[in-house]
Structures are given as C-alpha cells and as structure tokens.
Amino acid sequence: MRTANYSVAYVVTPLFDQAAAHKIGSNIPIRLQLWNAANVNQSASSITVTALSVRHVSDDAPGVLASPGNSTPDYDFRYSGGSYHFNLQTGGYVRGTYRLAFKAGNDPTTHTLEFQVK
C-alpha cells in the first residue's frame, strides 16, 4: 500500500477587469470567486479570503495594503452574493502593474491577482 500526500487549491476567477487602468488614489473594487476542479463555484461565507500584500510588479516594491476609510481593517474580503469583495485604496501608488496576494480558507496556495494604476 502506498500513501500519497496532496493538497487541493481553489481556482480563482477574477470578477473585475485586471487590464483596466485605475487612477492613482482611487479605490479599486477587487471581486473574485473560488472554484473547484469540477468547475463548481465554492465561494461561501464560511471560507475566509484574506489579503496579504501588494507588490509593484516591475521592481517588486511593496504597495500599501489599505481599504477606504479602513473599511476592512482585518484585510478580509467581504462575502456577498456568491463572490468576495475587497475595496483597495491606491493612495501613494506609482504608475504600473501591481499584484495582490491573498489566501483562501485552508488552501495552502498563496493566490494572486493583478491590477493597473495610472
């Protein structure tokens, strides 16, 4: 008998245009869903999605991870209507592409989504 260890990761589906450029200082509504390998939406209020960091892609410099009015001080996405929402404040950012890293529930994978500021 053999034993195999494996982990199952969610497939992340962004529900916003990652290529759209947002004005520096604006709030970017980051929306996403979690899917399984059978292409079934697994998003649920019982699965916590937590933002971890923001990095500027070209030079790997950190960006500020903040929400407007400190609306998500715990950095947890809000679950509503089958998807997760996080409003990201881009004050102090410079032009370019950024990568938002986040964790979803017990999934061991650190997932990322990209967004643009101009």
Q: How far separated are the first and last CA of the chain, in Å rounded? A: 57
Select the CATH number that applies to the domain covering 11-117 from these four: 3.20.20.370, 3.40.1160.10, 2.40.128.20, 2.60.40.10: 2.60.40.10
Rounded to whole angstroms, how far apart are CA atoms 8 and 85?
Answer: 23
Give me the tens of pLDDT residue by residue for the chain, a chain 118 residues long: 888 877 779 999 999 999 999 999 999 999 999 999 999 999 999 999 999 999 999 999 999 999 888 777 789 999 999 999 999 999 999 999 999 999 999 999 999 999 999 9
Q: Report the SS3 class of residue 54.
A: strand
Domain ranges of the chain: 11-117
Q: What are phi and psi for residue 19, nearest 5 degrees?
A: -90, -15
- Return the biggest CA–CA distance within the chain: 58
